[in-house]
Amino acid sequence: MGKRIVAGVDIGNSSTEVAIAIIEGGQMQFLAQHLVKTTGVKGTVENVRGIRFALQEAAGKAGLTVSQIDLIRLNDAVPVIGDLAMDLISETIITESSMIGHNPDSPGGAGLGVGTTIGIEQLLDMDTARTDDAYIVVIGKGFDFEWAAGRINLAMSRGASVTGAIVQKDDGVLIHNRLQHKIPIVDEVSLIEKVPLNKKAAVEVALPGHVIRTLSNPYGLSTVFSLTPDETIQIAPVAKALVGNRSAVVIRTAQGEVVERKIEAGRMILIGTQNRLEVSVNDGADAIMDAYERLGSVTDVQGETGTNVGGMLSGLRQDLAELTGQTPGEISISDFLAVDAVIPSSISGSMAGELAMESGVALASMVKTDKSSIHRVARSLEQELGIAIEVGGVEAEMAIRGALTTPGTRKPIVILDMGGGSTDAAMMDASGNITSTHLAGAGDMVTMLINSELALGDKELAEKIKKNPLGKVLSLFHMQLEDGTMLFSEAPFPPHTFGRVVIRGEDGLTPLPTRVSMEKIREIRRSAKRRVFVTNVLRALKRIVPTRNVKHLSFVVMVGGSALDFEIPQMVTEELGKYGIVAGFANIRGTEGPRNAVATGLVLSSIKNGGAT
């Protein structure tokens, strides 16, 4: 048989990998590989753009053009979409209070001040006011700090009681230093125009290194504003959102009744081959996964209509239906992973976007569609490139073929393919028979948890936190690392990183826009990885072992993008070590590390399929 050039294309949730090999006379030689970010949802025609680019780059590395490729083999990509199912979405409209709870760099003074809000320009009218009233002064950005301080001193000299100040600019310390009678001052309140005047308010500032105690306590708010027990319950989310802040303002604005609307988390209906089980999302991730285990195998999952989980699963079906051209009824959920999570919940009445953290459940689902989806990708690519396209096979099977190119491996072998959207496991016995499983939940779910639990609202930043260690810049020349050691630098760190927790990436230091401590961020990151990967690795291995006993395995090889992570392989190795299993990450073809296993397997399997020999 003559010379043929074959390309294997692995479409993942996060990345698309390509391997190109030349096959001649029964001999195969890999020429090049390339990796790009996946375009669109995995398994949809939007992937074609990324595939084409990856092929061009890989072919260029091999000194070829794409048109010289004789055969392209695609993995049988199944879309996996993750979304959050919250424990409880409660839209609480607090019409009797507004709040500002933030940590400006330099609030002025310390203590608690309670009074009626008044504009600084009205302060000289104090001689017409009753002197037994206390006031919180509101100072907009149009007023100079020295003038404002003089105004407050003058008013207080006339007998007025000024107990606190809310300042728009970063002038808290400057004003405080010029006051004859010290008061707590919260500054950097950008939306000061939303602060209502002539309303009762409380300002609290803690000493450096401390946090506020009165306004973050529901009973403290109740004491300050003389609330009834029912009103205290309604204002509790405000107090919860202020926990951990160094300064805060709460303003009572009696304007009407408290209106509350809640959307319940709902119940999940797990449908198996023989029976069905219902479980409440409120029962938590352990109860949901226990129900899954009792059911044995899942053929579909539905959510209670009109609830949060019902909306999430229906939306997921709808999205996939639009992407694949199928009807929602043709799409079923073949697997899911539930883990406990902390989810930020917005509170109406806040003036600076404050959030309350609620317990919830994060849910990743694997959606089963018909085969036409990936075949549509193949047809579209074939029409565009004019090259024969084959849909190769199940990802895990291709990954195991690629993993066997790791020096020192042989059959029987077990691989864990830890990617962005799914965790796959496959076992090849001594006879070459392969058993595999495909589970929802992997790197993307970890990113989702980090993004949610740190309330970042920035998936790219969460992804960066997931992939890199942290540090805290203590001076221009030294940094505390997250393991407690110190790093001394010959060159000064960038000034904007001073005093900040930073991501130590290959592209330099990225300061984080959050005031959460480095230790807390590290714990959230590691916990998210442990909850997703350790849980899924054990689930996957149990499914492929005939005895369902993980202890009957001896060797496991990790492949996939998440095997490159600086923590996940160690976590998995540590966990599997408890079962006496030797685990490590692969080195595909002896050069690629844990990457390119599926693409390599797709090329290798072309020989078996008669594509080359």
What HEC string does 163-180 produce? EEEEECCCCHHHHHHCCC
The position carrying tokens 């809310």 is: 166
For residue 352, give both structure tokens: 């600076």
Q: 373 pLDDT exceeds 80?
A: no
pLDDT per position as a tens digit, 438-487: 888 889 889 989 998 888 889 899 999 999 999 999 998 999 999 999 99
Min mean pLDDT across 249-263, 491-505, 511-525, 592-606 is at 249-263
Main-chain phi, psi angles of 219, to 5 degrees: -75, -25
Highest mean pLDDT (candidates 26-40, 99-113, 240-254): 26-40
Please give the structure tokens belonging to residue 277: 């089980």
Question: Which pLDDT band holds residue 212 (cuts at 50, 70, 90)?
Answer: confident
- DSSP 8-state code for residue 550: G
In this prediction, residue 7 carries a pLDDT of 95
Quick one: what percent of the chain has pLDDT higher than 90? 37
Indicate left, alpha or beta for 511 from its phi (over 0: left) and psi (-120 to 50: alpha).
beta
What confidence score (pLDDT) does residue 252 get? 77
Residue type, 170: D
Distance in angstroms (rounded) separating the CA atoms of residues 293 and 289: 6
The CA distances from residue 205 to 7, 138, 242, 387, 598, in Å, are 63, 16, 12, 68, 57
Mean per-residue pLDDT, 55-77: 92
Residue 388 in contact with residue 277, Cβ under 8 Å? no
Least confident of 202-216, 318-332, 375-389: 318-332
Q: How confident is the model at residue 334 (pLDDT cuts 50, 70, 90)?
A: confident
Per-residue pLDDT band for 216 (boundaries 50, 70, 90) equals confident
Per-residue pLDDT of 550-590, as tens digits, reads: 888 888 999 988 888 999 999 999 999 899 888 888 999 99
